[in-house]
Amino acid sequence: MTEPASDPERIRDMLLRQRRFFATGATRDVEFRRERLRDLGRAIDEGGRAMSEALRADLRKSAAETFLTEIFLVKNEIRTAVRRLRRWARPRRVRPPLYQRPAACEVRPEPYGTALILAPWNYPVQLTLSPLVGAIAAGNCCVVKPSELAPASSAAIRGVIERAFEPELAAVVEGGADTARCLLSEGFDRIFYSGGPDVGRLVMRAAADGPTPVTLELGGKNPCVVDRSADLAATGRRIAWGKLLNAGQSCVAPDYALVHREVKDALVAALADAVRDLYGDDPSRSPDYGRIASQRHFERLLGLMSQGTVVLGGETDPGDLYIAPTLMERPEPGSALAREEIFGPILPIVEWGDVEEAIAEIRSRPAPLALYVFASDRGLADAVLDAVPSGGACVNDVISHMANDALPFGGVGPSGMGAYHGKASFDTFTHYRSVMRKGFALDLPVRYPPYEKRRRWLEWLSRLYR
């Protein structure tokens, strides 16, 4: 195992080796890419236990949740890319317009060169390795920086990547904010960042110096609209599952519930029943219920719990970084609980009587990463979808849209730019190069000066293409 790059000189040396390797053209070969992706799949199989233990140490994740929300999704990304990469990477012929013939035109998918992936701590395996699959599938060399806030997971990810790839193709850099700043100053050809919007803005500013194309996967205050036509038992179960997965530390978790006032009390009861069914009478004893990642996040969440009325849960254990599944009503207007992404197991509930009230409430905030609507009334669900922009959406479910690699996953506005998963990952790390080929046999004089002599021909052409 090689020593991780962590200082500027070592990072520059590593990047120089990657650029030299990319210049050899080895990564342009589609079979080379497919075999490297298979190597990554094998390395994940071999390192699966270590990753599971690391996630247990960092986030108290169970082995089953680690497989479901991390390893399985990455393995599926690999499987899809290996199966479809030849088609994705094939140049696409384009018919030239009449006035450019004879010519042959094509769009060639080509790698950018060296890519940088800056990953977060909440789903460290999935949100590090899924974009890496896209970068390798597209033929790039890649530097990965896992989050220092999940140190055990960072070490396990480093082991998997070093087992799968030569450092000239993909390498890991571990470190904190100074390391990230150093990496951002090195002039990568593509940057992929997952995390909070404040750091996302810093990444974008750094990329502007290149300028370097950027994909930003950020968060958002994801609304969950519940109509009186919804099946409340199923709604409560699905919202509770999505909200409490990873102890609420998911960028696509429901962040607040907008509930028709006629069914608000019934939904609260359904959510309470669902929490009990999923995690027992005491969730702190459940092997499937996670913990808050750090003391700083724990204290922030405690502050949010003081900004409304707790109607379920509310128990905490600072020594264990435990916060019980918590429902809250009447969040203080303008408070952080009402306006900011929660990123924890706390769900504020807000009533509405007319769907326009719910839509106006959502539209008073920036566009979310995810929008959830629970309704048997399809017209109401479509009205919400049509009126509210979001990165992605589910009707009568939560989170599941991001597990389908046929659906591009990404944000809009403050929740991010660009998308990935499946073909969208390949596209994110690919430059689509336009190429036109012409022979020397025919060279129409109409395009050359003096144009006054060609005016009638040009006018004829303009009429032809109206």
Q: Is 224 a catalytic residue?
A: no
Catalytic residue among 217, 224, 341, 394: 217
Which of 174, 251, 341, 394 is catalytic? The answer is: 251
Q: Are 142 and 429 in contact (CB under 8 A)?
A: no
Give the residues across from 433 on adjacent strands: 108
Query: Which amino acid, one-letter code, is at 152?
Result: A
Query: Both tokens of residue 11?
Result: 């990072």
Distance between CA atoms of residues 375 and 395, nearest Å? 7
Residues with Cβ within 8 Å of 6's Cβ and at least 6 positions away in sequence, in order, are 173, 174, 175, 179
194 DSSP β-pair partners: 217
- The neighbouring-strand residues paired with 434 are 107
110 has catalytic annotation: no
CA–CA gap between residue 302 and residue 316 (Å, rounded):
8
Distance, C-alpha 158 to centroid of its chain: 20
Angle between helices 151-164 and 30-59 (to 10 degrees): 160
Exposed/middle/buried for residue 44 (C-beta within 10 Å: 0-12, 13-18, 19+)? buried
* The residue to which tokens 């408070």 are assigned: 335
* CA atoms lying within 13 Å on the CB side of residue 297: 21
Report the catalytic residues.
217, 251
